[in-house]
Structures are given as C-alpha cells and as structure tokens.
Amino acid sequence: MSQSGPTIVSDGAAPTACVLLIGNELLSGKTQDANLQFLGRELAGLGIRLGECRVVRDDHDAIIAHLNECRARYTYVFTTGGIGPTHDDITAEAVAAAFGVPLVVDAEAKRRLEAYGRELNEARLKMARVPEGASLIDNPISHAPGFRMDNVFVLAGIPSIARAMFSAAAAELRHGAAIHSASVDVWLREGDFAAVLERIAAAHADVEIGSYPFARDGRFGANLVVRGTDADIVEAVLARITAEMDALGGEPERRT
C-alpha cells in the first residue's frame, strides 16, 4: 500500500465512484452538506460502489490534485459545488486545468442561458464555460448546465439542482449488480452481542454486516444491517442474525 492511498480495482463487474464536495462553507461549519447521502443512496441503487468522499476547499491547486488522484482511481467521480457565476466558483476552471485543456464557451450552454431570459453578462457567461471536450448535463431547474468530462461529472452544489443533474446523468452510467440491504433493530448493547455477530460475519464474507448503535426512549439498541448483491443471501443472513439475537433476548424488529 503506497502513501498515495488504496487502489480500488474497477473491473467490468463492479463500477466504483468517488464524490468530491467542493466548498469552503462545508469545512468552516457554515453549511451542513446535503449531497453525500443522496449520492450514496443513488449510487448504491445503481450497483456503483462509492469508495470514498472528499470535502475540498475552493482552492485551485487542491481541486486539481484531488480530482487527478480520484479520477485515476475510480470508475466515476462526481463533484458538487463551485459552478456558479461568482468569484469563488472555480470548479470548471480547475477541472479544465486538471485535464490540461482550455476552458471554452459551449454554444449550447450559452443558448440555454440566453433562453432563460436574463441578461447574459460576463458573470453569467462564466456558467457557459466548460473544459474543451466536455458534454453538458441538463439542469431543468435553473438551466445553467453541469458537465461531464471523461469519467468526471460536475454537478451544482445546491441540493435540488445536484439531484436533478444526477438524475439527468444517471442514464450514462454503467450499472453494477444492485446492492440489496436489509436490517433489524435489536435491544441489546453492542458489547453483549458482538461475539455472536462477529461469528456470523466471519461465516458470510459474501455480504457486508454493519452494527449501528442507538439510544431510544432511554433504551440502548443497535441497527444491524446486511448488504450484498444476492438478495437471497442477504435475507438468509438477516434471518440468522434475527434468530441469534432473539435467543440473546434482543427482541429483534425488522426495519428494512
């Protein structure tokens, strides 16, 4: 393992992804991100494994470095943020620099911005600039498009627009085997069932088993999640977990 991070193999069967959330406001505590969970859920539904996410400042060199690292490592990279008209919107310029191509005015993007009806001043024209060779991603909400450059999908930061752009781009993605998820709540402390759960996990390396503790109404419990590409196996493992937790007095309650 090199210092530059893990290598995630993308073979034909298992597309992978990385999300880059771009914006100082996400690191200063000003803004609560609302895009990662949405993207994670959507990608899981398409069978695309989200390997990591990075939250990056509005910094030209930082965006370039992270983007070049991640686009080499994952099947797809999705960025959010920094494609508006103001001085702190530098994502398109950084993506162009990362690919070593100029930023050019896209005629179709310009046409859409003009059709939207507001004065196409210098600032708004900035939103029609994309890296040379990029294709547009539709924005049905505010019309200024996102874009795709090779395996990199550049989306807006505003959650409603990011979602609409992702939906517009999803048809271009290679899907993997859909990931099935099933879960059960148990009213036990993790320390009281960890050994049992570990034994089950060791016997079922073909699924991913997670334990997420909670406190509710003054009682402690945990949500036990099984995820995998074979729905029958996922259900069989959940059934075994449910039975063993019941035997421990955990009063299991199916969740999803």
Ranges within 32-51 binding its own copies (CB under 8 A): 32-33, 36-44, 50-51
Determine, following the binding rule CB under 8 A, whether residue 123 of this chain makes contact with its own copies: yes
- Report the nearest approach of its own copies to the CB of residue 213 (Å): 7
Residues 127-186 that bind its own copies (CB under 8 A): 127, 158, 179, 181
- Cβ proximity to its own copies, 55 vs 136, nearer residue: 55
Q: Which helix (H) or strand (E) holds 236?
A: helix 231-247
Q: Collect all residues with Cβ–Cβ distance below 8 Å to 25 and sequence separation of at least 6.
A: 31
Phi, psi of 249 (to 5 degrees): 85, 25
**Counting contacts by CB under 8 A, is residue 31 touching its own copies?**
yes
Decide if residue 118 touches its own copies (CB under 8 A). yes
* Cα–Cα distance measured from residue 241 to residue 51, given in angstroms and rounded to the nearest whole number: 26
> What is the chain's length?
256
Least separation in angstroms between CB 55 and its own copies: 4
* Near its own copies by CB under 8 A: residue from 104, 201, 233, 236: 201
CA distances from 95 to 75, 138, 193 (A): 17, 18, 48
Closest CA to 211 of 180, 246, 245: 245
Which of 51/133 has CB closer to its own copies? 51
Query: Quick one: 111 or 135, whose CB is closer to its own copies?
Result: 111
Beta partners for residue 104, in sequence order: 130
Task: Report the residue number, 60 or 233, with the smaller CB distance to its own copies.
Answer: 60
Phi, psi angles (nearest 5°) of residue 107: -60, -40
210 binds its own copies (CB under 8 A): yes
- Name which position in 212, 249, 253, 254 contacts its own copies (CB under 8 A): 212
Hey, which residues between 57 and 116 contact its own copies (CB under 8 A)?
57-59, 61-62, 64-66, 68-69, 72, 84-88
C-beta separation of 219 from 256 below 8 A: no
Q: Is 187 in the site for its own copies (CB under 8 A)?
A: no
Asked if residue 53 binds its own copies (CB under 8 A), the reply is: yes
CA distance 121 to 129: 13
Beta pairing class for 129-131 and 103-105? antiparallel
- Angle among Cα 125, 126, 128 to the nearest 5 degrees reads 70
Rounded least distance, CB 6 to its own copies, Å: 5
- The correct pick among 154, 197, 226, 241 for binding its own copies (CB under 8 A) is 197
Question: What number of helices (H) and strands (E) belong to the chain?
Answer: 9, 12
Distance in Å, CB of 167 to its own copies, minimum: 15
Among the residue ranges 2-10, 104-112, 132-140, 243-251, the one whose residues contact its own copies (CB under 8 A): 2-10
